[in-house]
Amino acid sequence: MKEQLLGIDIGTSACKVAVFDADGHVLAQTNQPYQVYYPESGWAEQDAREWWDAICAGIREVLLAKGVSAEAIRGIGVDGQSWSAIPVDREGNVLDRTPIWMDTRARDICERVKEELGEDTIFEVAGNDFLPSYTTPKMLWFREQRPDVFARTDKFLQSNSYIVWKLTGEMSQDLSQGYGIHFFDMKRLEYDGGLAERLGLSVDLVPRLYRCDEVVGTVTEEAARQTGLRPGIPVVAGGLDAACGTLGAGVYQPGQTQEQGGQAGGMSICADRPLAHKKLILSPHVVPELWLLQGGTVGGGGTLKWFRQEFGKDLSFDELTAEAEKVPAGGDGVVFLPYMAGERSPIWDPDAKGVFYGLSFDKTRGHMIRALLEGVAFSLEHNLRTAAETGVGVDVLNAMGGASNSVLWTQIKADVTGKTIQVPASDTATTLGAVLLAGVGCGLYRHYDEAVQRTIQVTRVQEPDWRNHEVYQRQMELYLELYERLKGIHV
């Protein structure tokens, strides 16, 4: 049987487990859901133990698929959502739920720390602003609000590093997820012990750093018993889901750009140096010696999922977008602000609210859907405009995520941004990126050129319609003005 690779993606609403052959073809895949907990306003938590249970179920399921064999799996790659802070003791036992990327409970801590240390001091090392969504403020929150948990915590783990620990018994911190830890030096790619101490923390609270394609360990007998895998399979450190998705979309060279259309939205611009911007997100790429200047938005495919759940349960996603297709570009003046759980970059406003503007008796559900699709595209354009302030240029976007399956939505994004959009095999981009790391790490591929060229094909190219682009440039100004006028009343 031909060699195979296993990819695990720890998403916000579910984990995806997929088996690929060496040419990037999906042999089997499954999604296993789990819960997000919202115990208080501004809080969003998950239980890492529930991730592991879901992953075990997913692995056992894909191993039953025709053409898949545990004996043929050459390596395992794990990617995961950003900015976890999973407290574990010396034995790796989870001590509490982790606040996830949507969690903003540490807002007051951030304001205090920036005032005491100076936000420029932190930014100079981390390349990112000190914001409550990141890992560091959550670590400080545990220290201040859960001192009993903090006292027993040996390490704070990321989503993928927890799963790597469960598979191998080895604790790790991959470079791409280091950006959530503000005492991780973005230029030197190592911890800054002095800044850690000034923050009231210690580098001993995080595992040692690994390259994303570095083998951390192999599948243990216990993990094999729980998953059905064979013992001894190499497991690489893996990385950030957005970065793995960027690789899986074929973005692995300076100047290339990924556009994300998953539950959340955003973009990742590949660079050969750390280009920092206080309103954006900077992280190492999963590919060595590269960085990603990222925009991460709350509004993505999840906005349409919400709309369908509340206003169109009887319709498929295709039927919903078909209604939107009947409405002209600009939605006849209807504009949507996709800030459904506050907003991340570039406005970083946890109080921002989702808004439909311009409704009247002559407007239909199709107008609202069209405005929703356009609003997500405007949030992408807002991030691209902000990134341009660093001097970086973007000509072509490689799309990924479920939203890129919609020809209409992809065309709207092309028209709004004025960029050509290429669509590779989007549904599997993130897990594919994870297995490419495993393939390089275990020697199945000699280098990333071979890995990408062998596995990734562009399935569709969409060029901007310049007449629509002119309409959207005017609408974009209204989109920006609406937020500026409303932000003072968001509570």
Beta-carbon neighbour count of residue 308 at 10 Å?
17
Percentages helix, strand, coil for the chain, rounded to the nearest 5?
A: 40, 20, 35
> Which phi and psi angles does 165 have, rounded to 5°?
-60, -45
Torsion angle of C-alpha atoms 385, 402, 236, 345, degrees rounded to 10: 30
pLDDT for res 263:
81
Same fold, 4-241 and 251-424+457-491: yes
> Which phi and psi angles does 203 have, rounded to 5°?
-65, -15
State pTM to two decimals: 0.92
Residue 338: Cβ-neighbour burial (10 angstroms; 0-12, 13-18, 19+)? buried
Identify each DSSP E strand in 175-326 by its residue range: 184-185, 190-191, 209-210, 215-218, 234-236, 239-240, 257-261, 265-271, 281-284, 291-297
DSSP helix/strand/coil, 65: coil
pLDDT for res 15:
96
- For helices 301-311 and 317-325, the axis angle rounded to 10 degrees is 100
Q: What's the CATH class of domain 4-241?
A: alpha beta
Task: Determine the Cα–Cα distance for residues 463 and 419; give it in Å rounded to an integer.
Answer: 7
pLDDT 10s per residue in the chain (491 long)?
A: 799 999 999 999 899 999 999 999 999 999 999 999 999 988 999 999 999 999 999 999 999 999 999 999 999 999 999 999 999 999 999 999 999 998 999 999 999 999 999 999 999 999 999 999 999 999 999 999 999 999 999 999 999 999 999 999 999 999 999 999 999 999 999 999 999 999 999 999 999 999 999 999 999 999 999 999 999 999 999 999 999 999 999 999 999 999 988 888 999 999 999 999 999 999 999 999 999 999 989 989 999 999 999 999 999 999 999 999 999 999 999 999 999 989 999 999 988 999 999 999 999 999 999 999 999 999 999 999 999 999 998 999 999 988 999 999 999 999 999 999 999 975 789 999 999 999 999 999 999 999 999 999 999 999 999 999 999 999 999 999 999 999 988 65
Runs of H (alpha helix) within 146-271: 147-152, 159-168, 193-198, 221-227, 241-248
Calculate the alpha carbon distances from 479 to 93, 244, 475, 483 in Å: 46, 31, 6, 7
∠ CA 189-195-199, nearest 5°, is 130
Task: Determine the Cα–Cα distance for residues 210 and 234; give it in Å rounded to an integer.
Answer: 14
Cβ 154 vs Cβ 123: under 8 Å: no
Task: Determine the Cα–Cα distance for residues 53 and 472; give it in Å rounded to an integer.
Answer: 45
DSSP helix/strand/coil, 191: strand
CATH match for 251-424+457-491 among 3.30.420.40, 3.10.100.10, 1.10.3720.10, 3.40.50.720 = 3.30.420.40
CA-wise closest residue to 156 among 146, 142, 144: 142
Q: Looking at the DSSP assignment, which residues form a beta bridge with residue 21?
A: 4
- Eight-state DSSP code of residue 255: T
Question: What is the domain partition of the chain in residue ranges?
Answer: 4-241, 251-424+457-491
